Amino acid sequence: MIYASITCITDSIMKSDTIFTIGHSNHDMATFLQLLTAKFIQVVVDVRSAPYSRYVTWFNKRNIQSAIQDAGLKYIFMCDAIGGKPSDPGFSDANGRVLYSKIAESKKFRHGLDRLRQGLADGWRIALMCAEKDPGKCHRHLLIAKELVTRHHIPVLHIRSDGSLLPAEDLLDKDSIQPRLPIFSP
């Protein structure tokens, strides 16, 4: 399994048919940009529903857009299509929890995935950016990568904070093996 993952990662880095994801977490800007350029990323797609941070203000939309463009990369904001917290209450349950399955079936989301697929077809190396460090806790894996891998057979690699790569398939396999514990509300 480890050898297969290493081979998959090596092959995917060299091809432009792979989507990457990254969580900006609390990195400084230089480290964040180095993580992207080390993987030869050309386009950063911001998928944050709220593109602002009280704690790491250099990741506020205007600041990150400028830094990415100054580094010679392209910046695209796509929260409206593939963000994880839509403003439409129809995408949440009675307790306010987001229903990723409903988002995945929406016309806007499918159009957003089509844009990503077209970007790959045009030869761009794309990274989806959100705030969460751990892809297993973020919609970039739980929603976007899941759909890209399972429905469209597009490889997705998560760029970890140490620069290592985690294939989305490995997390999807883990998700299917380990049952989720029920969440109880008070």
Q: Mean pLDDT of residues grouped by 10 in the chain (186 residues)?
A: 48 71 90 96 93 81 94 94 88 90 94 96 96 88 94 95 94 58 44
The CATH fold assigned to 16-161 is Cobalt-precorrin-4 Transmethylase; domain 1 (3.40.1010)
Check residue 89 and give its pLDDT.
87
**Strands 156-159 and 165-167, bridge-based pairing:** antiparallel
Check residue 181 and give its pLDDT.
43
Going from the C-alpha of 56 to that of each of 60, 63, 136, the distances in angstroms are: 8, 10, 21
Question: The tokens of 141 are what?
Answer: 């894996």
With tokens 């796509």, the residue in question is 78
Check residue 41 and give its pLDDT.
97
Check residue 4 and give its pLDDT.
47
Check residue 114 and give its pLDDT.
97
Question: The tokens of 184 are what?
Answer: 């109880």
Check residue 143 and give its pLDDT.
95
Check residue 1 and give its pLDDT.
46
